[in-house]
Each structure stands twice: as C-alpha cells, then as structure tokens.
Amino acid sequence: MGVLFTKEGHVATITLNRPEQLNALDPDSWKEFHEILRSAKVDPEIRVLILTGAGEKAFCTGSDLKKSMPPATNFASTYFEEENLLAPMEMWKPIICAINGFAIGGGLEMALACDIRIASEKASFGLAEVKVGSLPGLGGTQRLIRFIPKAIAMRMLLTADRITAAEAYRVGLISDIVPADKLMETAKAIAEKIASNAPLSVKAAKMAVVVGGDLPVKQASQMEYLLWGILRDTEDRIEGRVAFAEKRPPVYKGR
C-alpha cells in the first residue's frame, strides 16, 4: 500500500509508504491518501492526526513525476469539477507533520497544510517546481509567505534552493527539531497532549486561528467571541470545571 493508516486511542497516524520513490505519491497513492483523510475527518474517535513518511530519507517529494504526466484534457475543462489535491486535509482536527527527511515540492506543501510541523535533524525543505517548468500549485506560494519572512520565502521559491532543518527552525517554519530516533515519539507525545484536551475546544481554537488570521482584528475578535459562546454551555466545559475542582483529570466526550 502506498499509504498506511493506524489508530491508537484518539490519535491516528498516516504514513506515506513509498520510500523507494522518496514517498512521492502516484495517482493510486493519492486516492488512498484522500480516502483515509475523509474517513478520519468523520471518525468521532479520532481527535488528532500525525502525518509522516516511511523510511529515513524522505518525508515526501510530492507527486511521482514519472506517473503524473499532464492529462489529455485541457485545464479549463476539469478546473471547476476537481478539487485541490490537498483539499481533504482541510479539517478542524489538528494535523501534526513529523518530517523525517526531504520535504520537497508537493511534500513541503503537504507539510505547510498541517498545523504543527516537527522535523528530524536530517530534514530539508524546498519548493523546486521552477526547476521543472512548473509552480507550486497546492498552496505552497501562499502558505510559505504567511509562515516565514517574505524575503526568505521568495528566495526559496525563485531559486528552488533547499533549507536545512536548523534554518527552517530559525525562520519559524517548524516548531521543533529532534533526533531522528525521537521524531515519532515526540510527535505522539504532542498528539496525546492535544487529544487529552476538550475536542470541541481544540477544533474551535484551530478555527479561530485559521479563519481569523485572514480577517481584520475586529471581525476576528467577534468570531472568537462567538466560538467562545458556542463552547460555553457544552458538557465538556462543565466537566473541565468539575474535574478541576475535584483535582482529577477531565473525561471529555466532545459534546
């Protein structure tokens, strides 16, 4: 299988499993990836997802160029019916990207679509599309300039140069650098900590950041207050206060 899926408690792990191809995804693997994401999105037991790559060399290098030649039909005839390859990643459940090696092209775009990015010391990052006569088309240009200084993003985009994990950490592209043998352990620890929190609150916090980040402060603050109000009368909010008073861990049910 080109993509593996495991679930442990409230945390699910998606592993891109084509290490011999640097985890580049062919059309069948993209289909598997989409099906897994859509299933995870509606699974009430899953609260957090971890996305990583198999092997020690690469997280993902995007689409397998040998099997992803342009279609016979023109772009306009399919644009209005087809969704962006990363559209299924759009969900309010947090996604942690554990980057174990190369995150190049579509692989970096996939990482940029995640909420938290941690990386092995061996990882490197780049958008190399201009080298092959293309352009990052999965949100890469727009997300990169929002996550790191524009001058550095432009250098990466226009030169197709890679940056190291250390440089990625310095400019804020990733939150953590860890030894390769500690990568998944760290990702799972972060995921478990998130999963132990009230799931509706976690989703609301993500929505406030993702949606509010593109709004003026006044409108974003109004939306934040609305989300606070939505959570105010939930069972989990009451459970959080009762558990605090009783000095015990809360038991959240997502309602």
- Annotated catalytic residues are 109, 129
The pLDDT of residue 209: 96
- Quote the pTM value: 0.92
**Residue 72 exposed, middle or buried by CB count within 10 Å (0-12, 13-18, 19+):** exposed
Q: What's the whole-number mean pLDDT along residues 26-55?
A: 96
SS3 17: coil
Q: What's the whole-number mean pLDDT along residues 222-249?
A: 94
Q: Domains of the chain, with CATH numbers?
A: 3-195 (3.90.226.10), 199-245 (1.10.12)
The pLDDT of residue 17: 96
pLDDT tens column, 237-252: 999 999 999 999 999 9
* Amino acid identity for residue 228 in this structure: W
What tokens does 115 get?
Answer: 């909420």
Backbone angles phi, psi at 197, to 5 degrees: -85, 170
Q: Among positive and negative, which fits the CA dihedral 201, 143, 1, 99?
A: negative
* Amino acid identity for residue 158 in this structure: L
CA dihedral 37, 40, 42, 43 (to 10 degrees): 170
Q: What's the whole-number mean pLDDT along residues 191-199?
A: 97
Cβ contact 51:14 at 8 Å: yes
The pLDDT of residue 240: 93
Per-residue pLDDT band at 71 (split at 50, 70, 90) = low
Which residue from 90, 7, 1, 72 is spatially nearest to 43, judged by alpha carbons? 7
Cβ contact 95:36 at 8 Å: no
SS3 124: strand
Cβ contact 88:38 at 8 Å: yes
The pLDDT of residue 84: 84
The pLDDT of residue 82: 73
What gap in Å lies between CA 95 and CA 89, rounded to an integer?
8
